[in-house]
Structure 1
Amino acid sequence: MNFFDTVGKMAIGSRLRLLTDKITEDAARIYDTYAVDMQPKWFPVFYVLSRGEQKTITEIAREIGHSHVSVSKIVREMAGKRLVKEKKDKADGRRTIISLSAKGMDMNTRIADQYTDVNNAIEELSAQAQHDLWKAVEEWEFLLEQKSLLRRVQAQRKQRESLQVKIVPYKPAYRKAFRDLNEEWISTWFKMEPADYKALDDPEGYILRKGGHILVALYNDEPVGVCALIRMQDPDYDYELAKMAVSPRVQGKNIGWLLGDACVQKTRSLGASKIYLESNTILKPAINLYHKLGFQKVTGRSTPYERCNIQMELVL
């Protein structure tokens, strides 16, 4: 049974390495066939220098897309074979200039026929293939530059785990979780203030009986996140989005977004027109979340919190 048929596309790294190994092995034998004393990994550096330009290691690395460390190692190996020469830049003694040596230039002349034969062989192979590998690689490189495989996997994980999250209305059984989750995050970044105690010590009286709402995020039926909608006695705003907290144990599972979005949808269902919130810019993930939900910065309102340095609103 073929391993890759069994495992599927999640083994793409292994399959690409296998293909690379096959091509690299053939490349080494091709150099031997043409009596060219060069390792396949040297080729990008050699080719850049073969155009007659003198370049620094940084310039070479930038041009071929390798790391500075990788290029430095290759240059040392090539210098050991006397294919390149190094000299200090007269204008800047900290810079080392690399160029092909006389031996390297001689190799560049002798390798011309090899270039022709290799290029023709690859063109022949491409003509026999149903799919254009070169264009596919370019496309994949572009797409991965926009969003890496790591980020794509993280997004898939977040989406999968978010399916295990349920957003439910507050009930007395969640009172301790409401306090503990909020006290945990407030104490991590700031300090508890009088306004915090008012809401957390008596959520029923301070929030619910005054027309507010509290939503709770359950992950595997455990309360791991909370958020309150506090009814405001204000001509400009209907509700304040407040007391949002998510346990550090479950961060990265999209729970903040699910809670925030649920609160916004709740206020819509209640006929609200504007939501207000207060936060602190040190909480970058939270601020990014609020922007994602559609909140915009406002100024000029008084606040009971010392930690507040940004106020935002969402027009529904």
Structure 2
Amino acid sequence: MNIFERTGKMALGSRLRLLTSRFTDDATKIYEMYNVEKFSPKWFPVFFVLSETDEKTITKIAREIGHSQPSVTKIIKEMIKAGLVNDQLKSSDKRRNVVGLTEEGKSLAEKMLQEQCVDIDLAVENLLTEATYNLWEAVAEWEFLLEQKSLLKRVQEQKKLRESKDVEIVEYKPKYRSAFRNLNAEWISNYFKMEETDYKSLDNPQEYILDKGGKILVALYKDEPLGVCALIKMNDKDYDFEMAKMAVSPKAQGKNIGWLLGQAIINSAKELGASKLYLESNTILKPAINLYQKMGFEKIVGRYTPYQRCNIQMELDLKK
């Protein structure tokens, strides 16, 4: 159809629904052709599973066919009304409610498997031989790939990559002083409370960070400062620098700004000859911890910290 040539892959779902509709329409006519007029095509997965056993719980049916339990419950009720399913079965486990095919349902299953299913299988096989691509195998492959990573996740990644191209990482200038303070104060106050060390470094970044040999980087998104991060010089035998004061505006989250800032800070530390990079955080900040781990930071223990909110310390070996 020309509409799909114009929309491109954006309309993949619509195209698949249209294809499904064609199959469903034909399926209804096929059931009629085999004198199975009161059978709905949507029942078939449940019906097939029940035809293989005497009884089964709705939970097990749902798990086996990949449907939700409410969806299976609705189908079972429709099949009970049609006289194909019995829900008054006695289970060996009295805590479980089980269902099974009625005698009419079993007779229909035997007839369908002997005639209708055989004819349909052969018809589909012929269709597959006529096609350039094997749809059956392709669907199985797509199901596997989407289980590994959903389409939603894949679109989120592309959105992040596209928007990150509009992010520019720049060196700190006095005009970014308020942004450096406000962005940090905003996220700290959202999860914890401001501490004395925070006030010193955020109110006087020149004195407490830059003049001591550190750096502050600012992430601009379309020229607006929406993310900041500092590289703080440490007077420590184990560490040269600490990555700290990373903050990203909530309205800029999802644009890869944290990753871009972190990578820029790591590169700056390497340029300054650092062998290890240190940071402090809190485990309730799961996205941040995941980000640090993705960057290569590993958990360490036993160091003193001036921050009450710190309950995890990490390091990155820059020589690896």
Which among 166, 191, 194 is matched to residue 193 of structure 2? Answer: 191
Structure 2 counterpart of 1:259, which letter? L
Distance (whole Å) between structure 2 residues aligned to residue 314 and residue 24 of structure 1: 56
Q: State the distance in 2 between where 1:51 and 1:213 align.
A: 68
- Name 2:245's counterpart in structure 1: 243
**Rounded Cα–Cα distance in structure 1 between residues aligned with 2:30 and 2:106:** 19
Deviation string, structure 1 residues 248-284 (Cα, Å, up to 9, x no partner) = 1111111111101110011111111011111111111
The residue number in structure 2 matching 1:79 is 80
Q: How is 1:36-47 mapped onto 2 (pairs within 5 angstroms)?
A: 36=36, 37-47=38-48
Q: In the aligned structure 2, how far is the partner of 1:200 from the partner of 1:88? A: 70
In the aligned structure 1, how far is the partner of 2:8 from the partner of 2:165? Answer: 25
C-alpha separation between the residues in 1 aligned to 2:234 and 2:316? 14
Give the counterpart letter for 2:312 in structure 1. Answer: I
One-letter amino acid of the structure 2 residue matched with residue 170 of structure 1: Y
Query: What's the RMSD between the two structures over aligned residues?
Result: 1.1
What is the Cα deviation at residue 53 of structure 1? Answer: 2.9
Question: Per-residue deviation at 1:234?
Answer: 0.8
Identity among equivalent positions (%) equals 62
| Preserved contact between residue 169 and residue 217 of structure 2 (Cα < 8 Å) | yes
Distance 1:29 1:173 in 2: 72
SS in 2 for 1:228: strand
Moved more, 99-108 or 86-95: 86-95
Could you tell me how far apart the structure 1 residues matched to 2:311 and 2:8 are? 50
User: What is the aligned partner in structure 1 of residue 105 from structure 2?
Assistant: 104
Q: Which amino acid aligns with 1:287?
A: I
Q: Is the 8 A contact 1:88 1:94 kept in 2?
A: no
Q: Residue 192 of structure 1: SS of its match in structure 2?
A: coil
Counterpart-to-counterpart distance in 2, 1:214 and 1:236: 22
CA distance in 1: counterparts of 2:45 and 2:92, whole angstroms: 27
Superposed, which structure 2 residues align to 1:246-265 within 5 Å? 246-265=248-267
In the alignment, structure 1 residue 19 sits paired with structure 2 residue 19: yes
- Matched with 2:55 is 54
CA distance in 1, matches of 2:92, 2:185: 60
**More deviation, 108-117/250-259:** 108-117
Matches within 5 A, 1:219-230: 219-230=221-232
TM-superposed deviation, 1:90: 4.0
Q: Following the alignment from structure 2 to structure 1, what is the Cα–Cα distance between the partners of residues 52 and 183?
A: 63
- Structure 2 gap ranges (5+): none
Write the distance in 1 (CA, Å) between the matches of 2:132 and 2:54: 39
Pick the aligned partner of 1:129 from 108, 128, 131: 131
The reply to whether residue 8 of structure 1 matches residue 11 of structure 2 is: no
Distance 2:92 2:249 in 1: 57
Partners of 2:315 and 2:128 in 1: CA distance:
57
TM-score (norm 2): 0.97
Q: Does 1:30 find its partner at 2:30?
A: yes
Q: Does 1:287 align with 2:292?
A: no
The answer for the alignment partner of 2:153 in structure 1 is: 151
State the SS of the aligned residue for 1:277. strand
Aligned residues: 316
- The more displaced of 221-230 and 87-96 is 87-96
d(CA) in 2 for partners of 1:274 and 1:267? Answer: 8
SS of 1:240's equivalent in the other structure is strand
